[in-house]
């Protein structure tokens, strides 16, 4: 499985990459830059894209909207520490496959994300 993880927190990227690659047969590309993420999406085939909602320049929903506008149907998971029903509804309207709220407990959060990506089917 090839995963692209986009988040402006480099520590989260490093820890997630380690945990997700340990989980199984996965290769995780990471970037803190939404703009670089769009370039990576253009050049690579990913099985799933996971993006933080709140980032500088472009947020996760704007990335999702951009790639869906280009015809990309890769499963997309939005992560957010803040937000509620409004962001969740917008994510689903833009054809996000999952919306996961970041928690204060990192281990629980990693497990929820891992379960979503590896153990539960993501619809196209």
What are the sequence ranges of the domains in the chain?
A: 2-119
* pLDDT at position 99: 84
Residues 11 and 111: their CA atoms lie apart, in Å, by 17
pLDDT of res. 46 = 94
Q: Which residue has the tokens 């196209």?
A: 124
Determine the pLDDT at residue 106: 60
Query: Does the structural domain 2-119 have CATH classification 3.40.50.2300?
Result: yes
pTM, full prediction: 0.86
Residue 124's pLDDT is what?
Answer: 41
Give the angle 61-62-63 at the CA atoms, nearest 5°: 90
* Residue 97 CA, distance from chain mean position: 10
Predicted local confidence at residue 107, as pLDDT:
64
Q: Supply the pLDDT for residue 62.
A: 95
What pLDDT does 100 receive? 82
CA distance 67 to 76: 10
Which stretches of the chain score pLDDT less than 70? 83, 103-110, 118-124
Residue 16 φ then ψ, to 5°? -65, -45
Alpha helices in the chain (DSSP H): 10-23, 34-43, 60-69, 85-93, 106-114
Burial of 118 (0-12, 13-18, 19+ CB in 10 A): middle
In this prediction, residue 105 carries a pLDDT of 65
């Amino acid at each position: 499985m090839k995963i692209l993880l986009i988040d402006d927190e480099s520590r989260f990227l490093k820890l997630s990459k380690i945990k997700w690659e340990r989980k199984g047969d996965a290769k995780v590309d990471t970037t803190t830059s939404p703009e670089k993420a769009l370039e990576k999406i253009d050049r690579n085939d990913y099985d799933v894209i996971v993006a933080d909602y709140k980032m500088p320049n472009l947020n996760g929903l704007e990335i999702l909207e951009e790639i869906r506008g280009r015809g990309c149907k890769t499963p997309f998971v939005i992560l957010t520490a803040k937000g509620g029903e409004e962001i969740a509804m917008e994510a689903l309207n833009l054809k996000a496959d999952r919306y996961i709220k970041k928690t204060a407990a990192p281990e629980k959060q990693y497990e929820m994300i891992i379960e979503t990506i590896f153990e539960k089917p993501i619809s196209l």
